[in-house]
Amino acid sequence: MTETRQRLMIDPEVIGGTAQAPRLIGSVCARCATVTFPRQRSCPRCTSEDVHPRELATRGELWSWTIQCFPPKAPPYLPGGVEEFEPYGVGYIELPGEVRVEARLTESDPERLRIGMPMELTLVPVPGAPDKLTFAFEPVPEAER
């Protein structure tokens, strides 16, 4: 736990809360209530600039997903090169009544992912920069659904 606290979240404009209870920071339009992630200076729906930061829900449903099986070509995925690459899941999480968030998934086994399954926000080390944390979503354990 102490080790986690000492790590740095990758961007305080994107991830709020604490290392133990992180929150994604989106924005909400005061005029039409459209929610965005990441934060935007103006509303993509009505163009109002009366938008405010909003902590998003930490649980949602897996809307769609895939497994990234090869290193992204650009920018370079890891300082150590492709030898360090491990396949990972990536998907969209539908936060109820808010927005769909594109995120890395902690699960990379296609047999353990299905559309509509409950997912929860978590933090993971940044590939190639293990002293930094970024956000990801993990399946909610069966017992907590």
Residues of this chain that interact with Zn ion (CB under 5 A) are 29, 31-32, 34, 43, 45-46, 48
| Shortest distance, position 112 Cβ to Zn ion, whole Å | 38
Residue 75: partners with Cβ closer than 8 Å, 6 or more residues away? none
Classify residue 100 by burial, with Cβ atoms within 10 Å: 0-12, 13-18, 19+.
middle
Which residues lie below 8 Å from residue 13, measured CB to CB, with a gap of 6+?
Answer: 25, 38, 39
* For Zn ion, the closer CB: 45 or 112: 45
Minimum Å distance from CB 61 to Zn ion? 24
**Whole-number Å distance between alpha carbons of 100 and 93:** 5
Judged by beta carbon, residue 24 or residue 29, the one nearer Zn ion is 29
Nearest distance from residue 28's CB to Zn ion, in Å? 9
Least Cβ distance, residue 47 to Zn ion (angstroms): 7
Pick from 120, 102, 97: nearest CA to 21: 120
Closer residue to Zn ion (CB): 30 or 69:
30
For 6, the enclosing helix (H) or strand (E) is helix 2-6
Q: Which is nearer to Zn ion, 51 or 123 (CB)?
A: 51
